[in-house]
């Protein structure tokens, strides 16, 4: 259905138009012999960890998902349902996800104090508030940098369903920027044209490298790195274009995931994780329901629920969930108060995310809001706490700084710490 939005943000693109828009070899690559230093071995093990973020763009309502408040003045028309995790109830709009809750945990006490789309998304994807004149690396770029095996032919960070920008990698460099796919298809031009054979292509690349090296002399490396990196990534992708191939997906799987774009995006994410891609982000839009909130969430969550649940179930069946961190989040939640247009507005004060898989103690709930969801009353956390938790879950130390030009930059806000109750 069509939904009229009230805040006139650039985030407000229709769902339809947006979606239609545009590990055995690691030892050898690292050069370790038979004796591996204990710390190096620990770091090597961490490289097998993978991460998938489901980003519900626009701000999904916590009251229609993870923290329903039925039969209250803010609760709306929907009831709760029991889940596979004893004692946990979620909104009835998520029946398939409810069957997978024993693989997930909920954080119901988030307060980012931010109701702006861009600023809220920045907090949730970097763990820091916006800093004038400085860009922290986004989670996908940071984990690609820290977890991807060196010299891997695979992109470390793939964003499906639009979005993704070169600025996300910040000072980590263009190699760790997202490869953005607007649909569940391989990037264009991953095969050589019929007029060019492999030998000729190699000669052409060698010549380009020679010219590129001469051009780079006496110039800042950063000025040419993006250009050269794009060629290197393209060559690697041409050799591994099979990671985008969904032709072998069974009819049964296609039916489970659905014929819509989001279902295909989730199937591609499954294929990418099976192929070894370190970080995958799947975006689903648009949840910015300033009007007709309930009808629109029926449609949106009806599309989201089964593919998301199928993805979790399939990773578990394939033995991948234990090493794959799952994060389902938005830039903020929706207001408990229902407005005059039967909608919910922006709300960063008391909302929820879902986590599961690698390093997460599943089947639990951390944090609590009051009876009508207007405030956090127990275990309040923000984006910094979440980032500490993500790093710990995949075996990394968030207190180890990034360094850029000799200057340290925190991976996660040092004023916060991990949500220990969530860590396995």
Tens of pLDDT, residues 187-228: 777 666 777 777 776 777 677 777 777 776 766 665 566 666
In sequence order, the β-bridge partners of residue 407 are: 404
Are residues 67 and 368 in contact, defined by beta-carbon separation less than 8 angstroms? Answer: no
Please check the confidence at residue 37 and state whether its pLDDT lies above 50. no
Query: Is residue 180 helix, strand or coil?
Result: strand
- Tell me the residue ranges of DSSP E strands in 214-329: 279-285, 324-329
Q: Give dist(CA 270, CA 312) in Å, integer.
A: 9
Average pLDDT over residues 248-256: 96
Nearest alpha carbon to residue 382 among 55, 114, 68: 114
Range of weakest confidence among 93-97, 309-313, 346-350, 405-409:
405-409
State residue 14's pLDDT score.
41
Range of weakest confidence among 15-19, 175-179, 291-295, 376-380:
15-19
286 contact partners, CB below 8 Å, separation of at least 6: 3, 11, 12, 13, 14, 15, 18, 57, 58
Please check the confidence at residue 35 and state whether its pLDDT lies above 50. no
382 versus 12: which is more confidently predicted? Answer: 382
Percent pLDDT > 90 in the chain is 69
Average pLDDT over residues 333-351: 98
Average pLDDT over residues 28-53: 51
Cα Rg, the chain, nearest whole Å: 22
Are residues 380 and 111 in contact, defined by beta-carbon separation less than 8 angstroms? Answer: yes
Please check the confidence at residue 98 and state whether its pLDDT lies above 80. yes
- Contacts of 239-244 with C-beta under 8 Å, sequence gap 24+, read 239/153, 240/153, 240/154, 240/275, 241/186, 241/190, 241/191, 242/275, 243/154, 243/271, 243/272, 243/275, 243/277, 244/185, 244/186, 244/187, 244/190, 244/268, 244/271
- pLDDT-derived band at 238 (thresholds 50, 70, 90) equals confident
Please check the confidence at residue 281 and state whether its pLDDT lies above 70. yes
State residue 218's pLDDT score.
67
Matching CATH number, 38-184+246-422, of 3.90.25, 3.40.720, 1.10.520, 1.10.1060: 3.40.720
Please check the confidence at residue 255 and state whether its pLDDT lies above 50. yes
């Amino acid at each position: 259905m069509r939904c009229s939005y009230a805040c006139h943000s650039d985030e407000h693109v229709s769902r339809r138009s947006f979606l239609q828009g545009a590990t055995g070899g690691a030892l050898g690559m690292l050069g370790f012999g038979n004796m591996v230093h204990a710390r190096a071995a620990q770091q090597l093990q961490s490289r097998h960890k993978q991460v998938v973020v489901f980003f519900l763009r626009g701000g999904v309502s916590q009251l229609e998902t993870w923290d329903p408040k039925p039969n209250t003045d803010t609760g709306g028309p929907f009831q709760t349902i029991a889940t596979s995790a004893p004692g946990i109830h979620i909104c009835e709009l998520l029946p398939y996800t409810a069957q997978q809750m024993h693989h997930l945990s909920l954080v119901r006490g988030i307060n980012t104090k931010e109701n702006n789309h861009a600023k809220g998304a920045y907090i949730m994807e970097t763990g820091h508030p916006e800093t004038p004149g400085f860009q922290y690396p986004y989670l996908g770029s940071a984990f690609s940098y820290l977890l991807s095996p060196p010299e891997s032919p695979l992109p470390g960070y793939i964003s499906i369903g639009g979005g993704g920008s070169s600025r996300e990698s910040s000072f980590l460099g263009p190699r760790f920027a997202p490869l953005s796919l607007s649909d569940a298809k391989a990037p264009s031009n991953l095969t050589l044209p019929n007029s060019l054979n492999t030998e000729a292509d190699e000669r052409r690349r060698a010549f380009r490298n020679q010219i590129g090296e001469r051009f780079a002399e006496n110039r800042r490396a950063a000025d040419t790195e993006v250009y050269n990196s794009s060629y290197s990534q393209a060559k690697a992708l041409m050799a591994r274009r099979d990671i985008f191939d969904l032709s072998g997906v069974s009819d049964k799987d296609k039916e489970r995931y659905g014929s819509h774009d989001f279902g295909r995006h989730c199937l591609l994410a499954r294929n990418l994780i099976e192929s070894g891609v370190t970080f995958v982000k799947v975006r689903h839009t648009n949840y910015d329901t300033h009007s007709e909130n309930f009808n629109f969430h029926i449609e949106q969550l009806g599309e989201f629920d089964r593919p998301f649940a199928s993805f979790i179930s399939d990773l578990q069946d394939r033995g991948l969930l234990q090493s794959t961190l799952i994060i389902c989040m938005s830039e903020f939640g929706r207001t408990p108060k229902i407005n005059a247009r039967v909608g919910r507005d922006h709300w960063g004060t008391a909302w929820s995310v879902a986590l599961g898989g690698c390093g997460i103690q599943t089947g639990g709930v951390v944090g609590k809001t009051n009876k009508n969801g207007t405030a956090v009353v127990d275990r309040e956390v923000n984006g910094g706490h979440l980032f500490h938790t993500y790093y710990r879950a995949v075996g990394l130390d968030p207190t180890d700084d990034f360094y850029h030009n000799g200057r340290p930059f925190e991976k996660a806000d040092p004023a916060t710490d991990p949500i220990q109750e969530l860590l396995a």
